[in-house]
Chain A
Amino acid sequence: MARKMVFVDTSLCTGCKACSVACKAWNDLPAEKTKRITSYQSQADFTPNTWTYVRFREEYKDNKMHFNMLKLQCFHCDDPACMKACSSNAIYKTESGYTLVDREKCIGCGYCAANCPWGVPKIDEATNKMYKCTGCIDRVENGMKPACAQICQPGAIQFGDYDELMPKAQARVAELQLTNPKAHLYGDNLMGGTTYVYLLQDRPGAYGLPLNPTTPISLTLWKDIVHPLGGIAIGASAAAITAGVIVNLVRGNYANRAKNIAESHDEGGK
């Protein structure tokens, strides 16, 4: 299947939150008690049962209030930190660009959750499994749009083949830049390129997004340096003691040892 893309155009978003409802409906996720977080935001963060929500930021410019509204879900990175962190081979990429978790393999260790630059994966402590947005892979593979894209009335969530949708996204940015020079794409060049790409109308920080999300250095150190070096150290140690036994045998030290001990018995020690 060709690489897919979801284009989230914040300039069209009305903040209706239908996307998060559609996500729950399609994925059979139970509703959770919500409370007002700030502005119109009713969900603080992802949970094992909430895979997408809308973040609201209010900003005042020239005495006018601006809503920075952002529908959040897994970005489906091409080079995901969660997959690198996973010690159980439970996270994998599809050809279509999705980052998915195999919950048969997942053990709930939380390494993914700790290393995702956007804090997307959440561990259900009761089942010890990780849950996050699947990109509605089950719909996509059957020729349908993801539930959030399907429901979005103003067309702020668009779905299509990457090669076709990306030029449209770039054209939309160019169009907006005529009146708003801050308009830009977010995600297309992050973490190897994300499947969910955003059009932001302000700097990422205005939406509470990290400016330059990366794979944590600690994760690279852990998986690419500590693990191979640790393996080498254990291997070298095992090889050294094997050589030690052989060299001691060849030198006759084991035979001498028995003799020495016998002598020390005769002498009665020192």
Chain B
Amino acid sequence: MAKEVYRFSAGERFVHWCHGVAFLLLLFTGLGVLVYAFQPAMNIFGGIQVTRNIHRVVAVLFTIGMIVGFIGKGQGARQMRRWFKDVINFGNDDFAHAKNFPIEFFGGHKPFPPQGKFNGGEKLNSMFTILGTICIVISGYIMWFASGPSLLLQWAYPIHAACALFMAALLIAHLYLGILHPDSNQALKGIFTGWVPAKFAYEHYEKWYNEEAKETIRG
């Protein structure tokens, strides 16, 4: 077996999958309400009214999962807070990496400065996701609980739809990089088991590898 380093704690994986599964369910059920052509597909849940309720139940579970994932003194929650702090801290090295992103996306390679635990591209994806999630959660609860016509409710609709559609576009690219991209999909194992190939970690996150990851090496 190739050598591996520990990348994602159980807490990080929990929040990732909580987010991922909830997002897919919410996207699917939400499209049933938003787009007329999707409505017939909602029969698999037992019709549009059941779907609307599923959307709300999943939304609540999702919100609780996110809050639980970030608060508390456990190692997982600490990791999530660290991720948050990391990704909103976007420096020159991150920019240099993100600039090369289109080249890497299509399978090319151009050297970039050593990256921390999260590289520039991942930081951008994370920031879009954080912003989109906060906006979609707030606008969603407004749509659920606001009564009567109001500016607040009227503006919640385009914000909710914009977050859903653009995060769906982001998700497509995320799935590609995680599953289909011949280089970056080496990380896929990490989000299931926590461990990624050491060589891959060194090549993609040199700074993080030298400062932290190499201490965890196994295999």
Contact = CB atoms under 8 A, between A and B. Distances in A.
B44 interface: no
Given A107-B49, A248-B181, A116 B149 contact: yes
Contacts of A109: 33, 52
A268 interface: yes
Given A237-B170, A244-B176, A219 B154 contact: yes
B49 to A, nearest CB: 6
Nearest to B157: A222
Given A89-B36, A107-B52, A226 B162 contact: yes
Contact of B35 (A87, A240, A256): A87
B157 A265 contact: no
A234 B172 contact: yes
Counting contact residues on chain A (CB < 8 A from B), the size range is 35 or more
A209 interface: no
A264 B158 CA distance: 49
B48 interface: yes
Contacts of B34: 87
A217 to B, nearest CB: 9
Given A248-B106, A251-B107, A111 B183 contact: no
Contact of A107 (B33, B148, B166, B170): B33
Given A87-B35, A230-B166, A248-B106, A222 B161 contact: yes
Measured as residues with beta carbon below 8 angstroms from the partner, the interface class of chain B is 35 or more
A107 B39 CA distance: 10
Contacts of B154: 114-115, 216, 218-219
Interface in A204-257: 216, 218-219, 221-222, 225-227, 229-231, 233-234, 236-238, 240-241, 243-245, 247-248, 251, 253-254, 256-257
Contacts of A241: 172-173, 175-176, 180
A256 to B, nearest CB: 7
Interface string B168-194: 111011011000111100100000000
Nearest to A234: B169
B36 A268 contact: no
A230 B161 contact: yes
Nearest to B146: A114
A58 B151 CA distance: 28
A119 interface: yes
A157 to B, nearest CB: 26
Contacts of B150: 114
B158 A257 contact: no
B202 A270 contact: yes
A117 B4 CA distance: 61
Contacts of A38: none
A113 interface: yes
Interface on chain A toward B: helix, strand, loop, or mixed SS?
helix
A128 B49 contact: yes
B37 to A, nearest CB: 10
B158 A269 contact: no
B131 interface: no
A262 to B, nearest CB: 9
A122 B165 CA distance: 28
Contacts of B35: 87
Contacts of A227: 161, 165
A231 B34 CA distance: 13
Interface in B80-133: 105-108
Interface of B: 1-4, 33-36, 39, 48-49, 52, 105-108, 146, 148-151, 153-155, 157-158, 161-162, 164-166, 168-170, 172-173, 175-176, 180-183, 186, 197-199, 202, 217, 219
6 contacts: A114-B148, A115-B149, A115-B154, A230-B169, A233-B169, A257-B183
Nearest first, the 7 closest Cβ-Cβ pairs linking A and B are: A230-B165, A269-B3, A222-B158, A241-B176, A233-B169, A269-B198, A248-B107
